[in-house]
């Protein structure tokens, strides 16, 4: 089994889902820079940028903030392996002209508990990089990420599951300092 090789592909979630179903690769460290597999008790942080992830007029997160779990992976950071300063540096590096609004936080076990009937809907992989050892990806494990469906049913189910994922994260973006003081 070569989870690490698959995890380096651009559309890693789709590749992992198709070649290693049922989150099998979660049981293995898929990055040589990783501090280890992502544990259920860990808190995961998602950086939120405007206008991509956040509507400043309504003060609401946009569903698009969670869309990447369908194919390339929803980038998050493992709270216990990062700091406020490191995340500020990461946000500045990846902002590409977008405005950092804050972060949303969810517990790994809650994400893994989301089911589509009897099957887990999301996998969480340790995808650390040399410059970001706290990096992980949330990947959708069912629906439109893993099947090609001309009826649109897979796409509708995928959208429904991503809305469930969004609800697990903090309702409103927090400052980094707030996030670290609460968890």
Range of the domain at 152: 3-182
**Amino acid 63: pLDDT:** 87
**Amino acid 89: pLDDT:** 92
Tally Cβ neighbours within 10 Å of residue 131: 11
**Amino acid 118: pLDDT:** 81
| Counted domains in the chain | 1
Q: Which position has the higher pLDDT, 167 or 147?
A: 167
Q: pTM here?
A: 0.91
Residue pLDDT, tens place only, 115-163: 988 889 999 999 999 999 999 999 998 855 566 544 455 677 788 888 9
């Amino acid at each position: 089994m070569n989870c690490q090789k698959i995890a380096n592909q651009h559309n890693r979630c789709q590749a992992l889902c198709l070649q290693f179903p049922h989150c099998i690769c979660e049981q293995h460290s898929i990055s040589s820079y990783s501090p280890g597999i992502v544990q259920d008790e860990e808190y995961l942080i998602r950086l939120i940028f405007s206008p991509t992830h956040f509507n400043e007029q309504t003060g609401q997160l946009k569903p698009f903030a969670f869309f990447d779990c369908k194919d390339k992976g929803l980038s998050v950071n493992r709270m216990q392996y990062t700091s406020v300063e490191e995340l500020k540096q990461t946000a500045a590096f990846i902002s590409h002209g977008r405005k950092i609004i804050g972060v949303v936080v969810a517990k790994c076990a809650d994400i893994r508990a989301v089911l589509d009937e009897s099957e887990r809907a999301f996998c969480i992989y340790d995808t650390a990089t040399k410059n970001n050892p706290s990096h992980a990806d949330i990947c959708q494990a069912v629906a439109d990420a893993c099947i090609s469906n001309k009826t649109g049913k897979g796409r509708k189910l995928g959208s429904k599951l991503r809305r469930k994922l969004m609800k697990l994260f903090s309702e409103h973006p927090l400052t980094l300092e707030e996030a670290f003081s609460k968890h």
